[in-house]
Amino acid sequence: MSLVLCLLGVLALFILISARIIAARFTGRHDLARQKLLPVLLSGDPQHLEKVSGGELAVAANLTIELAEMTRGSERDILIIRATALGIPDLLLRRMRSWSAQKRLSAAEAITLFDNCSELACKALDDRNRDVRLGVAMALAQKGAAPEPLALIEKLGVGQQESSLLLVSLMADLAGKNSEAVAALLFERSLPYETKVAAMDALANLGGEYAPLLAYMARESAGEPELQPRVYRALGRTGHPAGAEAIIDGLSSVEWTVRASAAEAAGNAGLSQAVRHLGELLRDPVYFVRYRASMALLKLGPRGIAILREASSSEDPVVRTVATKMLVEGRAT
């Protein structure tokens, strides 16, 4: 029995040593390939480059991706020309058929770097994995090569499972290239709530151009307690006078979430004409509304602070407390 155990121990030791030798050889070849290919990608003459294969091709692909992240403009353009001459797109296309979703995603994102491969990258929008689809969509949108927003959203099958930050980032890139098409998404009844919120956020980040549309949406979304507060927040971020009337209307909503978000919007938009309405909200039965209203008054400067100071002497302890706390918080006592 002890002899068997000794033999097993020796065998295990032999396997470990062999694995280490193989790994060392692989690492050595990998390092040599990097040393050989790095100057080629950085300064090689595309006219004289030939395709590489095997391990060198894999190393060249990884180097291309690393260098592309560090370069821009003409420097990146010539890098991509050299990578094309080495045969990188062929490898990426093979990786896009991998069983590994992570490999397919990395390959599809990388292939968007190659101008003549955008159509091939678009095929990844039909991938069976939603993370692959979303990653490729973001890469295409950043490059300005994505399909129309509605077609893209339908391909992605966007629902509530995606990270809202990723969706907002995607929508911002789409709006940067085609804001009208993104605005049109707001009127698509079949689109999920998260998609419309991301579209509104993207439009709000463009400034006041879409304030009238967001004001319209703020009114039309009455009865949608999840959506309407997000519309008001987006509207407030535009800071455009075209949203003033809708925001003031929102301060009187029967929904406390809407009143709170409208108060936040009034402060962010600097609506001095809303001070009286905001002052009235200091008596609101919901604490969060009172807090948002007092914060907005503080943001509005002297006129808002005057309302807060007056309220800090109120006989109503609820009004007095929220006003005093905000004045102290804003060091405006």
Residue 199 predicted with pLDDT over 80: yes
Residue 96's Cα: distance from chain center in Å? Answer: 24
Assess contact for 238 and 269: CB atoms under 8 A. Answer: yes
Determine the pLDDT at residue 45: 87
Determine the pLDDT at residue 26: 60
- For residues 56-67, average pLDDT: 89
Determine the pLDDT at residue 226: 82
The string of DSSP letters for 69-91 reads HH--HHHHHHHHHHHHHHTHHHH
Determine the pLDDT at residue 284: 95
The string of pLDDT tens digits covering residues 276-315 is: 999 999 999 999 999 999 999 999 999 999 999 999 999 9
CA dist., res. 314 & res. 78, Å (int) = 70
Determine the pLDDT at residue 320: 92
Could you identify the residue written with the tokens 């990388």?
A: 110
Residue 160 predicted with pLDDT over 70: no
Structure tokens at 300: 């509005």
Q: Would you tell me how many other CB atoms lie within 10 Å of the CB of residue 303?
A: 13
Query: Which residue, 284, 285, 286, 249, is CA-closest to 265?
Result: 249
Q: Note the pTM of the prediction, 2 decimals.
A: 0.67
Position with higher pLDDT, 225 vs 59: 59
- For residues 171-196, average pLDDT: 86
Determine the pLDDT at residue 333: 61
SS3 331: coil
Residue 195 predicted with pLDDT over 60: yes
Contacts of 34 (CB under 8 A, 6+ apart): 59, 63
Residue 24 predicted with pLDDT over 70: no
Q: Say which amino acid occupies 22.
A: I
Instruction: Kindly report which listed range (2-6, 145-149, 164-168, 225-229) carries the lowest average pLDDT score.
Output: 2-6
Determine the pLDDT at residue 273: 92
Determine the pLDDT at residue 18: 66
CA distances for 321 relative to 259, 263, 304, 314, angstroms: 20, 18, 16, 9
Determine the pLDDT at residue 17: 66
Query: Which residue, 325, 299, 292, 301, is CA-closest to 311?
Result: 325
Determine the pLDDT at residue 1: 64
Assess contact for 263 and 234: CB atoms under 8 A. Answer: no
* Mean of per-residue pLDDT scores for the chain: 86
Contacts of 186 (CB under 8 A, 6+ apart): 196, 199, 200, 213, 217
Beta strand segments in the chain, E: none
Determine the pLDDT at residue 5: 72
CA dist., res. 13 & res. 122, Å (int) = 49
Instruction: Give the pLDDT band (50/70/90) at residue 142.
Output: confident
Determine the pLDDT at residue 19: 65
* Percent of the chain clearing pLDDT 70 (strictly above): 92
Instruction: Give the pLDDT band (50/70/90) at residue 15.
Output: confident
When computed from its CA atoms, the radius of gyration of the chain, rounded to whole angstroms, is: 29
Give the count of alpha carbons within 13 A of 250, CB side only.
38
For 26-72, what is the HEC assignment?
HHHHHHHHHHHHHHHHHHCCHHHCCCCCHHHHHHHHHHHHHHHHHCC
- For residues 34-45, average pLDDT: 87
The string of pLDDT tens digits covering residues 244-264 is: 999 999 999 999 999 999 999
Assess contact for 307 and 277: CB atoms under 8 A. Answer: no
